[in-house]
Structure 1
């Protein structure tokens, strides 16, 4: 719910470039003070560049500040939408006219860069800028939303000492900030590359391999994010180039653009676009190298487990051979054992004097108990395995 005023809103730092002393003049402004009496009262008309470091989330929550910024710098309502806030990158533009005369040109762009350090701690660097270029004065106003270090320091440093010939081209800001995007993306890609290289050069332990699948998965996850942000940044820069061409082709009557300066802006934008494309190829290569390492880890573990299975199979084969020998010896002695057990029963009587064998008439009792018990044991074994079948291990 929006607040009725901006008493609780933080003061917004405003940096204005002073050509006289070649330095930034900084002051603090309330969010609802940017627009009053149908004009912007906080921007010095003699300053060719103005940087406003605002908080987008805080401004969204304050209706007074939001309306003030929207009216002062012609921010479209679509920029405040939730899908723009949740997006991972975008580019837009708009031309404002008064009585059929072009009064300004607005562009807005958003870049995200994910940086990973050596300890696997990551940080998102965000460059969320809205650029308002005023046609009558060739003044450039940059609203940098939610900027944190190192982007906060990079923007004023990159826009220092502007070339007066380039100020007539509203895209000169992107030519400078695109270099910062390339630099940050380069650091992000090489941070992933260093992690991949560390995995590739890791020594295999003696004995059972123990890959750190969690670590490899985390590096792969960060690599996917870096590639995604590179794809979006490249598409945004391609859009900037296309809109720059369209802007130059319209030949607005207010334009006082130096052809050489405009060509230099375009060449720098084109170079940054190619650099991002090259970094995207390297980022894709990092992901493919990670997939190779993941596949190698799986294959190494599978090969080790297969070797262990072979050893277990050989041990089982030796145990089986030993059991066959035991079974053979048992079978050799089993008939003699059975015969000796039968003749040792009291059903048989050997008369040593006459040398004759006497068999008891009750010998049938042995068979009456032996045969049913054997059959019952066999049936019990059969039905036991039917009710409780053996399940293979693994």
Structure 2
């Protein structure tokens, strides 16, 4: 894939465009106004990456929706904050289908750990979101374009993987409406797989450094924070599977409603369905692993509670033993008191008697000699 100079953009919104020029993919930067103005004249394949703040540019959005048949509703807050969605529509002119466009979205959460491998102390867990919006437009025997919005941080590495794949000009063949879905799903599946395994590594680290009775130092806030991330990942995976179901159903419906032009088209649709189904099973596998991570985290928290309870019980037993020893000492003191107290009482009584005799003798004027 080579890079060409883009068209002058001035203050216009810039986009990154990858287009198939003959047998080689070309990368360039151009303005939204340019791609909208030249849409009808464009033929071939292209992938356009829109800026992530596109929803804040109403005029550019209006031009994009008109030029690429993008459903305007997909830019509403409800759609932009959704965990995922899928919709499709067809354009008709004089009773004939002129365009076929789809829109779908995926949301990924990536967990990262900042901590040395030798200890579980001072473990901090960070996270980042990756929002992926896809719009496709297909024109019969004319052109096929995929537009996408991917966060600049792109922790999921989706855009990098796409650009790496396009180093091979033969790596992509998009000539039918369903081909874009079969093309992009492997990158989404790989991104979700990395997301789940990143969470798994942190959970496994906690299992390796779980608290013991000798060193009960569970970090409950980190455990609950990681459990929250795991729940979000499971939620995103569940929605991505439903998006795949919707894409699969849409392709099946088109097979029944749209006349086929020949065996090649039928074979291509069947292959696209097979690709989507295979990657849906991978997403289901990742979803099961994510649910298992949530259960493992719950197990670690329960174990930490039990270890803490055992330690508290041991401390209570030690306190009871100490109190028992104190009680024995008090009994010994009581016995000593019982033994020596009578003699002390007799001695004190004699002392008081002696004192009385002395006072009596002094009162009578006679000395008293004991």
TM (normalized to structure 1)?
A: 0.76
Query: Does 1:66 pair with 2:61?
Result: yes
Query: Does 1:127 pair with 2:124?
Result: no
Which residue, 214, 218, 229 being the options, matches 2:221? 214
Q: Secondary structure at the match of 1:167?
A: coil
Using the alignment, how far apart are the partners of 1:8 and 1:87 within structure 2?
31
Seen in structure 2, the aligned counterparts of structure 1 residues 131 and 257 have a Cα distance that, compared at 3 Å, is farther
Q: CA deviation at 1:99?
A: 2.8
Q: Secondary structure at the match of 1:111?
A: strand
Query: Does 1:114 pair with 2:109?
Result: yes
Q: Is the 8 A contact 1:208 1:301 kept in 2?
A: no
Find the counterpart in structure 1 of residue 180 from structure 2.
173
Using the alignment, how far apart are the partners of 2:313 and 2:171 within structure 1?
67
Give CA deviations for 1:113-154 in whole Å, capped at 9, x if unaligned.
2223453443333321111112352x2111111344422222
Q: Is the 8 A contact 2:14 2:32 kept in 1?
A: yes
Q: CA deviation at 1:341?
A: 4.5
Which residue, 42, 50, 53 being the options, matches 1:45? 42
**Root-mean-square deviation over aligned CA pairs:** 3.1
Seen in structure 2, the aligned counterparts of structure 1 residues 273 and 257 have a Cα distance that, compared at 3 Å, is same
Using the alignment, how far apart are the partners of 1:236 and 1:113 within structure 2?
14
Q: Secondary structure at the match of 2:170?
A: coil
Q: How many residues are matched?
A: 338
Gaps of 5+ in 1: 1-5, 354-394
Q: Is the 8 A contact 1:103 1:136 kept in 2?
A: no
Please identify the structure whose Cα radius of gyration is greater: 1
Using the alignment, how far apart are the partners of 2:65 and 2:210 within structure 1?
58
Seen in structure 2, the aligned counterparts of structure 1 residues 321 and 144 have a Cα distance that, compared at 3 Å, is same
Q: How does 1:359-374 map to 2 (within 5 A)?
A: none
Query: Does 1:275 pair with 2:282?
Result: yes
Q: Secondary structure at the match of 1:72?
A: helix
Query: Does 1:146 pair with 2:150?
Result: yes
TM (normalized to structure 2)?
A: 0.81
Seen in structure 2, the aligned counterparts of structure 1 residues 98 and 333 have a Cα distance that, compared at 3 Å, is same
